[in-house]
Amino acid sequence: MTLCIGLTGGIGCGKSTVAGLFAEHGAGIIDTDAISHRLTRSGGEAIAAISAAFGKDYIMDDGALDRAKMRGLVFSDAAAKQRLELILHPLILEQAKVQLQQLRTRPYIVAVVPLLPESPAFRQLVQRVLVVDCDEHNQVERVIGRSRMGGAEIRGIIAQQTPRAERLQLADDVIHNDAGLDSLAEQVAVLHQRYSGMQNSN
């Protein structure tokens, strides 16, 4: 099996940016956010189960998940969050395994998995964990720059995610993303060399 690196980090830490840099080096990329999005769009595989569990109110007229409404629910209701994850996570895992097969001729694969710290099943799928880490101040500023979310809302999301120190303890490798994009590219280049020379021992 091809070496698979699990890439994780808090909201806005730079996971997608880092994945893009690895892609430029020829790595295969699996994006679990994109998989999740596809599962919950109109006609997506998860829609029927979500509608049965949460009611038709959570499905928009076009048949896609009402993301804003669901985000509002799971933000304040831990049991609902767990119910949604019980539907989505097995489907995401299944799709990720399909993509892993499709990408097996790449030198190595980087799987972007924001929920890696909370998901033993995903930790089993990957051979190494790469954490992209940055200060909370930078995290908040960057997410504000990218979306319409305010500082308080972003800090609320950060508070619900695995704490930074705990996430870092899982890391085999760390990318520090408090400097500019040049520094990010340099760190990715070093890791690319390391991963290219590694055999998957599983």
Ligand X SMILES: Nc1ncnc2c1ncn2[C@@H]1O[C@H](COP(=O)(O)OP(=O)(O)OP(=O)(O)O)[C@@H](O)[C@H]1O
Quick one: which segment of 44-52, 73-81, 180-188, 194-202 binds ligand X (CB under 6 A)? 180-188
Q: Residues in contact with ligand X, total (CB under 6 A)?
A: 17
Binding range to Mg ion, per CB under 5 A, among 8-16, 34-42, 84-92, 165-173: 8-16
User: Which of Mg ion, ligand X, none interacts with 146 (beta carbon under 5 to 8 A by kind)?
Assistant: ligand X
Q: How many helices (H) and strands (E) does the chain have?
A: 10, 5
Residues in 9-38 at the binding interface with Mg ion, rule: CB under 5 A: 15-16
CB of 87 to ligand X, least distance (A): 21
At residue 95, what is the residue type?
Q
Q: Binds 9, which of Mg ion, ligand X, none (CB < 5 to 8 A, cut-off by type)?
A: ligand X
How far apart (Å, rounded) are the C-alpha atoms in residues 20 and 58?
A: 32
Candidate list 13, 100, 140, 175; residue touching ligand X; CB under 6 A: 13
146 sits near ligand X (criterion: CB under 6 A): yes
Read off the tokens for 129: 């964990």
* Exposed / middle / buried, residue 184 (Cβ in 10 Å: 0-12, 13-18, 19+): buried
Select 142 or 192, whichever has its Cβ closest to ligand X. Answer: 142
Task: Look at the alpha carbons of 98, 40, 117, 30 in this order and tell me if their dihedral is positive or negative.
Answer: positive
Smallest gap, in angstroms, from Cβ of residue 66 to Mg ion?
A: 21
Determine which residue in the list 3, 4, 7, 15 makes contact with ligand X, applying CB under 6 A.
Answer: 15
Q: Where are the alpha helices (DSSP H) in the chain?
A: 15-24, 32-39, 47-54, 67-76, 78-102, 120-125, 136-146, 151-160, 164-169, 181-196
Calculate helix-pair angle for 151-160, 136-146, nearest 10 degrees: 120
- Judged by the rule CB under 6 A, the positions of this chain that interact with ligand X are 9, 11-17, 33, 114, 142, 145-146, 177, 180-181, 184
- Judged by the rule CB under 5 A, the positions of this chain that interact with Mg ion are 15-16
